[in-house]
Amino acid sequence: MSLRTAPAAPPPQAPVGEPPAPGRPARYRLARWDLKYSPYLYIAPFFLLFGAFGAYPLVYTAWVSLHDWNLIGSSSFVGLDNYRALMVDADFWNAVVNTMGIFVIATVPQMVLALALANLLNRGMRARTLFRMGVLVPNVTSVAAVGIVFGQLFGRDFGLVNYLLGLFGVDRVDWQANTWSSWIAIATMVDWRWTGYNALIFLAAMQAIPRDLYESAAIDGASRGRQFWSITIPMLRPTIIFAVIISTIGGLQLFTEPLLFGNGRILGGSLRQFQTVAMYMYENAFQRFNYGYGSAVAWTLFMLIALMCAVNYLLVRRSAR
């Protein structure tokens, strides 16, 4: 948060009603307080909002998850029973596998594509700004619209994708019925929305790389490809870590795309082929009214995300070294 956008906090003043500060020491103290505490006042709005809408719900959900809690009824404390049940819940683990699977087949091509796109956009070309803004367009489309349009594209009977496959003599695919096909369809939606966004982030980082590095490499006879692998990628390392972590957080919370792909049904396919953890949480809390169990799923998901972020961080840091 920048200081300029923060709402102006009232400057610290001498409390009204007290006798005026007698001479230098008091004024000095005020000036010191100003220096010392004003920054906290400026950043306070964020922490207040985060406390109210981030930290408090987090803690409260943990509390709820320790109860057998009917959403529109009564509740009783059950300790860790919900978590115990969750650990042996086959539907939950199915959702975890689906989420991870979709995450991997969405994120890997997305990062590679975004890097390639950024590299292209970083070159001198006509109408550069137009292209750079253009890659962001899918991201500003509403996720519901994307979900509905892609749901139609991947339709079994009247979908465009099956029509195109048919031109090459491939049989119609029932995208919702197979695990692999549903994962691919959902990953396509995710990539459609987020590749351009990540490309722009990579592009920004690429532009911060000093030009003279490339110039001296070129003088030494390094090819474009060599320059990319030996200069661009290592210099982008912190940015790649950032992008992977943001994608992890988003990818593991995947909800709207698979929901709309499955015609709004929370089961995610007849055999839960593409039900994600977020969908399973919603199913328990708002379809089964089992609020405590839903909260336990929410917390487990939270811990899973934290764990995945740590693993990704370590992996990306090592591989980029």
Partner 1 sequence: MHVPSRRLRNSAVVALTAVMALGLAAGCSKKNDAPAGDGQLKLVVDTFGEFGYKALAKEYESAHPNIKVQLRSIEKLDDYKPKLTQYLAAGSGAGDVVALEEGILTEFKTQPQNFVDLNQFGGGDLAKDYLPWKFEQGKASNGQLIGLPTDVGGLGVCYRRDLFEKAKLPTDRAEVSKLWTTWDDFIATGQRFNAGGSGAAFLDSTTTAFNAMLAQFGDTNFYDRNNNLIADSNPSVRKAWDYTMSMIDKGISAKVTTWSNEWQAGFKNASFAVTFCPSWMRGIIKTNAGDASTGKWDIADVPGGGGNWGGSFLAVPKQSRHAKEAYELAKFLTSAHGQIGAFNESGPLPSNLGALDDATFKATTDPYFNNAPVGVIYGAGAKALKPVYRGPKHQAVLDRAFQPAIQSVEQGKAKADEAWKNALDAAKKEAK
Tell the smallest beta-carbon distance from residue 285 to partner 1 (Å): 6
Q: How far is the CB of 103 from partner 1 (least distance, A)?
A: 16
Pick the closer one to partner 1 by CB: 121 or 173.
Answer: 173
Nearest residue (CB) to partner 1, 152 versus 207: 152
Strand partners, 76: 68
The helix (H) or strand (E) run that includes residue 69 is strand 67-69
Residues 6 or more apart from 154 whose CB is under 8 A from it? 161, 162, 175, 176, 185, 261
Closest separation in Å from C-beta 139 to partner 1 = 13
Residues 47, 48, 54, 55: is their CA dihedral positive or negative?
positive
Map tokens 């959900």 to a residue.
Answer: 61
- Residue 201: what residue type? I
CA distance 205 to 238: 9
| Number of residues that make up the chain | 321
CB nearer to partner 1: give 187 or 285.
285
CB 54, min distance to partner 1, A: 7
Tell me the C-alpha distance between 303 and 315, whole Å.
Answer: 18
Residues lying near partner 1 in the complex (CB under 8 A) are found at: 53-54, 56-58, 60-61, 64, 69-76, 91, 143-144, 151-152, 155-158, 174, 176-178, 253, 255-256, 263-267, 269-273, 278, 281-283, 285-289, 291, 294-295, 298-299, 302
Nearer CB in complex with partner 1: 37/56: 56
Give the nearest distance from C-beta 6 to partner 1 in angstroms. Answer: 22
**CB under 8 Å to 286, separation ≥6 — which residues?**
71, 294
In sequence order, which residues have a C-beta less than 8 Å from that of residue 114 and are 6 or more positions away? 195, 196, 198, 199, 201, 202, 243
- For partner 1, the closer CB: 202 or 293: 293
| C-beta of residue 262 within 8 angstroms of C-beta of residue 269 | yes
State which residue, 93 or 214, has the beta carbon closest to partner 1.
93
Nearest approach in angstroms of CB 290 to partner 1 is: 9
Retrieve residue 289's tokens. Answer: 């009214």
78 vs 233 by CB, closer to partner 1: 78
How far apart are CB 201 and partner 1 at their closest, in Å? Answer: 20
Least distance (Å) between residue 204 CB and partner 1? 25
CB 184, min distance to partner 1, A: 17
Q: Which two tokens stand for residue 265?
A: 């049904």
3-state SS, 143-210, equals HHHHHHHHHHHCCCCCCHHHHHHHHCCCCCCCCCCCHHHHHHHHHHHHHHHHHHHHHHHHHHHHHCCC
Residue closer to partner 1, measured from CB, 53 or 229: 53
Nearer to partner 1, 176 or 188 (CB): 176
Rg of the chain over CA atoms, in angstroms? Answer: 26
